[in-house]
Amino acid sequence: MIVRPIDGGVEVLAPAKLNLFLEVLSRRPDGYHEIESLMVSVNLHDTLIVREEASEDIILECDDPELPTGGDNLVVKAAERLRAAAGIRRGARMTLKKVIPARAGLGGGSSDASAALVALDRIWDLGTPPDRLDAVAGEVGSDVPFFLHAPSAVCRGRGERVEAVTLGRPFHFVLVAPEVGLSTAEVYHALRPPETPRPIGPVLEALDGEDPAPLGRSLFNRLQPVAEAMRPELARVRDALAGLDPPLDGSLMSGSGSAYFGLCRDLDAAERAADNLKPLGLGWVRVVTCGP
């Protein structure tokens, strides 16, 4: 997450995420699911501009007219939770410029909320300890804590227990976001957790090599078959990625969908894949990168 000072406030670049591995271990008594996931942030960003407001109001403006800007928005929720945790009644005016597609499994809303926590902690001069900020982030949403630890981490629990991992090299992806969106809650509700979960070890081991092919073979998402059963038209995106020539090193749906990504050997291969995919009318196509 990139934080820049601006006149009277801060600007934060809030990145998208990809799930390179996502296993659902069990359903929890609280209605959530116990997961184990390897997540990475990529160079696709929303922009959040935050300035202190003279009143006590929390004001959010957004360039996407379809996005709610009231208490249902995770950015506003993050501001309210941080303010309550700090015991203050200060206001903020926030402007959100959206680039990350919504309802795509790319974590845009969670990343925006994490950006709000970082920005407000700074402009309100709170100095919140990292573990306390993690706790507030977990109260806002399951994926929000990850973005405080990006660019790469293993997330457990319902996603709020985050353990940073190191990427030894950059990885390049072609990303496809279809126009159809999916509800995370509905996808999880339709899932039956496996009797024997898949171990995360192989995908973590594959992060260290120079060759991306082992990582491509280790990509896994327990939610993908469920999402594709709910929206069969998504199979067209899956099949297009699988059928590219030259072939990708691997491909997967991110999170609960509906976006898919393909792992490419290098940046040139990712750009060639994007050029081949764009004429197919599958949706929004972009080349993205994670890592150093």
Q: State yes or no: 102 annotated in a binding site.
A: yes
Q: State yes or no: 110 annotated in a binding site.
A: yes
Task: Give the distance from CA 54 to its chain's centroid.
Answer: 32
Q: State yes or no: 111 annotated in a binding site.
A: yes
Q: State yes or no: 185 annotated in a binding site.
A: no
- Burial pattern 27-55, b for ≥16 Cβ within 10 A else e, equals eeeeeebbbbbbbbbbbbbbbbbbbeeee
Catalytic residue among 7, 17, 98, 112: 17
User: Is 143 an active-site residue?
Assistant: yes
Q: State yes or no: 107 annotated in a binding site.
A: yes
Q: State yes or no: 85 annotated in a binding site.
A: no
HSE value, Cβ hemisphere, 13 Å, CA-based, for 149? 25
Q: State yes or no: 214 annotated in a binding site.
A: no
Q: State yes or no: 109 annotated in a binding site.
A: yes
Catalytic residue among 46, 121, 143, 249: 143
Pairing of strands 161-164, 284-290: unpaired
**Where would I find the H helices in the chain?**
74-86, 108-123, 130-140, 144-149, 184-190, 201-206, 213-218, 224-230, 235-242, 267-277
Q: State yes or no: 26 annotated in a binding site.
A: no
Q: Please choose, from the candidates 91, 88, 134, the residue with its C-alpha nearest in 3D space to the C-alpha of residue 114.
A: 134
| Binding site, annotated residues | 101-111
| Binding site, annotated residues for ATP | 101-111
Residues acting as catalytic residues: 17, 143
